[in-house]
Amino acid sequence: MSGADASLPDAEGVLAALAERMAGAVAHDAAFVGIYSGGAWVAERLAAMLPGSHPVGFIDVAFYRDDYNRSGLKANTRRTELPFDVEGAAIVLVDDVLFTGRSVRAAVNELFDFGRPDRVELAVLVDRGGRELPIEPTYTGVRLAVARDLSIVLSRDAAGRLSLGVEPAA
């Protein structure tokens, strides 16, 4: 099964709840860095929803993943874009679904190649548990339990509306 799933919460509602949780806690000048692709979509939306001026950047962790030598390079590799100075910045790293923690670890490694931020917080739309590394989000939209052989997938339609679905894990 793929696309929107009636058993999953509405992604737009989860995004609104996440923004509400973050509103009083995130620095007004914090930069948002979305992990491609779903995290990039969420980062753009959160930066626009929260008070303050939040520059937005995007990070592709393809070359930084610890399973790169096993799974190879994905076909949709994108260029990391950080249009602000990472050195000394308050950064909110954003991902759509947090599972093992390996993508977040890779993103932090790449982020530090651009400079040493003052602090890094993690915001995720969905925390599905199953961590293999000691990584926990600072801000969570929703926690969902899903079988290990399934993936939670965030989709975006032509109007920019987000939806959650499940599909067999690759």
Rounded Cα distance, 84 and 39, in Å? 18
- Whether residue 104 lies inside any domain: the answer is yes
| Residue 2 placed within a domain | no
Predicted model pTM: 0.91
Residue 4 maps to a domain: no
For residues 16 and 30, give the distance between their C-alpha atoms in angstroms, rounded to a whole number.
19
**Residue 3 is assigned to a structural domain of this protein:** no
Boundaries of domain holding 158: 11-168
Q: 3: left (phi > 0), else alpha (psi -120 to 50), else beta?
A: left
Q: How confident is the model at residue 6 (pLDDT cuts 50, 70, 90)?
A: low
For residue 122, is it within any domain?
yes
Question: Domain holding 44: CATH number?
Answer: 3.40.50.2020
Domain assignment of residue 6, yes or no: no
From the CA atom positions of the chain, what is the Rg in Å? 15
- Which residue, among 57, 68, 69, has the nearest Cα to 115 in the 3D structure? 57
> Minimal CA–CA distance to 96: which of 31, 156, 6?
156
pLDDT digits (tens, 9 = 90+) for 118-143: 999 999 999 999 999 999 999 999 99
80 belongs to a structural domain = yes
State the chain's mean pLDDT as an integer. Answer: 91
Domain count, the chain: 1
Residue 1 lies in a domain: no
